[in-house]
Structure 1
Amino acid sequence: MTATALSAPPSAMPRPGRVRALRRAVCFTTIAACAPYLALKIAWLCGSTVGWKVPADAEGSALYVANAITLGLDAVAVVVASAFTYRWGLRLPAWLVLPPIWIGTGLLVPIALAAPIALSVEAASGPAATDTGSSLYGWVYLMVYGGFTLQAVGLTAAFVFYARERWSEVFRIRTAELPTGPTRPLQTALAGTGTVLAVVYAAAQLYWAFGGTLGQDGERTGPSVAVSAVWAVLALAGAGGLLTMVHRLGGGPLWRPLGIAWVGAGSLFAQSLYLLLVAIGRPGGMGEDATAASACVFLAGVLGGLLLGVTGMMRLAERAAPNGPARRPQSASPTASSAP
């Protein structure tokens, strides 16, 4: 692969100027996708009832706090998109960069995947099948979830550009070349436990998607069924991607199972945490049978996603171990040795 790249004609190599222009275009598009949601949240926090069918439903301290939190999350998306585009983002520590984009993709990618399915189900079933008596007008959902879909695409693309520049070796090695370090037994145990929890979560979501009512205290609609199915598939895919990395299965490039594990584990953790907080915050807390049962499922998802994420981090941290794949030695020429 290296020889092919070195022998490629200059016209076949991507030009840095074009790459920078593309990255800026992705950044500006992502920020533009955040703007309508930010404007709507600011309006609601300032007392506006735009988008509400019943203005009285827009009142309440809990709703105010929820709007403030979601406003902050979307503002973070703007900062993250900028950090992935401009040089100052490369100077940020990894622990400050990776958690926000992991959680962000975990929340947004399922929306981008489920939105077309939900719209198709709604179009085929008619408005009667999806009318849940919402207090918001339909255009609010279209604007919000359409923006979330664009944000998912934009943030994912921006992060790929950023990761290829900052951790380029991850895109060059193959899964079978990952080293076996001293934490291998711990990784195997954590990955196995996380996989079991992911399977429990996925099974519950599929049970609800196919009409199960245990743990559900509301009517299931076509779009909600599609969302449950997407969450289940992503949870199983994330566990499979991580197991592929831990056990070095297959000879393909590392970025494939890594990307699947990243999105799947992020979705499992972030969505479960959000749903768990919603279940706890409902009237009656976790005392109701339906809410308590669903909260147990979401707790399994939080723990499973966290275990898969931690295991993946450990797996990547050992990629530069002494018994790992040999690195290309640096030139011993005087020019190279005297370079700053």
Structure 2
Amino acid sequence: MAVLTAIGVLPYFLLKLAWIFGSQWGIESPSKLDGTVVLMGNIITASLDVLLVAIVVALGRRAALKIPWWLILIPAWFAAGLLLPFIFTGPVIAAMVASGSGSSDGSLSDWVGPLVYLSFGIQAIGVVLVLGWYLRRRWGRALESHSSQGLVRVRTKGQWAVFSAAGVVAAALVFLGLRWIVRAATALQAQSADLRGGILWLSDVANAGFAACAVIGLLVLVARRLGNQDGPGDHDSSHRWWPILLLSGGGAAIAGSALYALVLMSLGAGTAPGQQDFWELSLSLVLGLLCGLGALAVIVEAQKQAAAIGPTDLRPAGFDRH
């Protein structure tokens, strides 16, 4: 998995490295942004690639289980969120350029877009695989014990407040998802051949899909709590994981996309008419973070219940024979 991520990182990293040292490789016209801003942006993104490889290598080792979870999981969650959309947009953008149905705005060579987006897509696959391995190893046993004991019914006002908040989050995600779908459909009807326009409507479609994933995961977790049961077929451990993965993965992608756009906005890149507004980006970031915290809360609660059962159940899944 670390090798896969490194393969995905290498083309993008080499391109950024060339730009940092003044190469014009792939650049057709100078950026409208200040030169210092562009240079710092390239240095930061290249450094993030190095950090990404380090995180993946760390997550893939058993020693990672001895490191405080937040030290690895938080940056890995944000990395997954930033990269997840490119699993879908990368191949589509590459196909658009290869078929001649999409062209760049002239600032970069046509091959730069597919290289960058496909590179991000490969990185995303590597991060998701190693993150799944880490979660299963670290909390798999606790979650299985938690599931086998059944979930406590909602009785207190505090619990009802939490689930009411979950309903508000779900409704807000549905609202944003519909907004993204409408905007993507409008952009598609314009039939723009501009590559940047294609990236924007693809991003809206991807965000809507991730919002749907988060809503499904959230509603399933709430339904299980209210019903005091796992649901049909959830005796298999994979069924206990999928709503958590949908909630955390969907939230990460929404938060990551919003955070990236907000950073660009703060650097003066701004948003063109028809793109996401500041309020929408801020709301997306908050909702994505809430989804991640919600998924984490379920796992933490599972670990606490497993600890009450006995220390044997706290061992990472798959370590039984070691």
- Please tell me the TM-score bracket, short chain as reference: 0.7 to 0.9
The answer as to 2:261 corresponding to 1:275 is: yes
Among residues 15, 23, 28, which one is paired with 1:40 in the alignment? Answer: 15
Higher mean alpha-carbon deviation, 85-94 vs 230-239, is at 85-94
Percent identical among aligned pairs is 26
Equivalent residue letter for 1:250: G
Measure the CA separation in 1 of the matches of 2:95 and 2:120: 18
Contact 2:94 2:118 in 1 (8 A): no
Measure the CA separation in 2 of the matches of 1:61 and 1:177: 57
Among residues 224, 243, 261, which one is paired with 2:247 in the alignment? Answer: 261
Q: Are residues 69 and 190 of structure 1, via their aligned partners in 2, closer, same or farther at CA, if it must alter by over 3 Å?
A: farther
Q: Are residues 277 and 150 of structure 1, via their aligned partners in 2, closer, same or farther at CA, if it must alter by over 3 Å?
A: same
* Equivalent runs, 1:1-340 vs 2, <5 Å: 26-54=1-29, 60-120=35-95, 127=100, 129-169=101-141, 172=144, 174=147, 177-179=150-152, 184-211=159-186, 221-248=197-224, 250-251=231-232, 252=234, 253-282=239-268, 294-322=277-305, 327=309
Measure the CA separation in 2 of the matches of 1:40 and 1:212: 30
Equivalent residue letter for 1:263: G
CA deviation after TM superposition for structure 1 residue 258, in Å = 1.0
Equivalent residue letter for 1:274: Y
Q: Secondary structure at the match of 1:211?
A: helix
Q: Secondary structure at the match of 1:89?
A: helix
Give CA deviations for 1:26-78 in whole Å, capped at 9, x if unaligned. Answer: 21221232122222222222222221112576961221222122122212211
In structure 2, the partner of 1:5 is: none
Rg: which structure is higher? Answer: 1
Equivalent residue letter for 1:239: V
Q: Are residues 317 and 238 of structure 1, via their aligned partners in 2, closer, same or farther at CA, if it must alter by over 3 Å?
A: same
Q: Are residues 51 and 264 of structure 1, via their aligned partners in 2, closer, same or farther at CA, if it must alter by over 3 Å?
A: same
Q: Are residues 329 and 175 of structure 1, via their aligned partners in 2, closer, same or farther at CA, if it must alter by over 3 Å?
A: closer
TM-score of the pair, normalised by structure 2: 0.79
Equivalent residue letter for 2:299: L
Measure the CA separation in 1 of the matches of 2:151 and 2:9: 38
Measure the CA separation in 2 of the matches of 1:141 and 1:39: 15
Equivalent residue letter for 2:20: L
Relative contact order (alpha carbons < 8 A, sep ≥ 6): 1 or 2 greater? Answer: 2
Structure 1: where are the runs of 5+ without partners? 1-25, 214-218, 332-340
Measure the CA separation in 2 of the matches of 1:265 and 1:314: 14
In structure 1, the partner of 2:191 is: none
Give the number of aligned pairs: 295
Q: Secondary structure at the match of 1:134?
A: coil
Contact 2:93 2:117 in 1 (8 A): no
Give CA deviations for 1:157-180 in whole Å, capped at 9, x if unaligned. Answer: 112222222222256364993445
Q: Are residues 95 and 180 of structure 1, via their aligned partners in 2, closer, same or farther at CA, if it must alter by over 3 Å?
A: farther
Q: Are residues 203 and 327 of structure 1, via their aligned partners in 2, closer, same or farther at CA, if it must alter by over 3 Å?
A: same
Q: Secondary structure at the match of 1:50?
A: coil
Contact 2:29 2:106 in 1 (8 A): no
Give the RMSD, CA atoms, in angstroms. Answer: 3.2
Structure 2: where are the runs of 5+ without partners? 189-193, 225-229, 314-322
Measure the CA separation in 1 of the matches of 2:199 and 2:61: 38
Q: Are residues 327 and 203 of structure 1, via their aligned partners in 2, closer, same or farther at CA, if it must alter by over 3 Å?
A: same
Measure the CA separation in 2 of the matches of 1:121 and 1:55: 24
CA deviation after TM superposition for structure 1 residue 326, in Å = 8.1
Measure the CA separation in 2 of the matches of 1:279 and 1:205: 19
TM-score of the pair, normalised by structure 1: 0.75
Q: Secondary structure at the match of 2:277?
A: helix
Q: Are residues 59 and 113 of structure 1, via their aligned partners in 2, closer, same or farther at CA, if it must alter by over 3 Å?
A: same
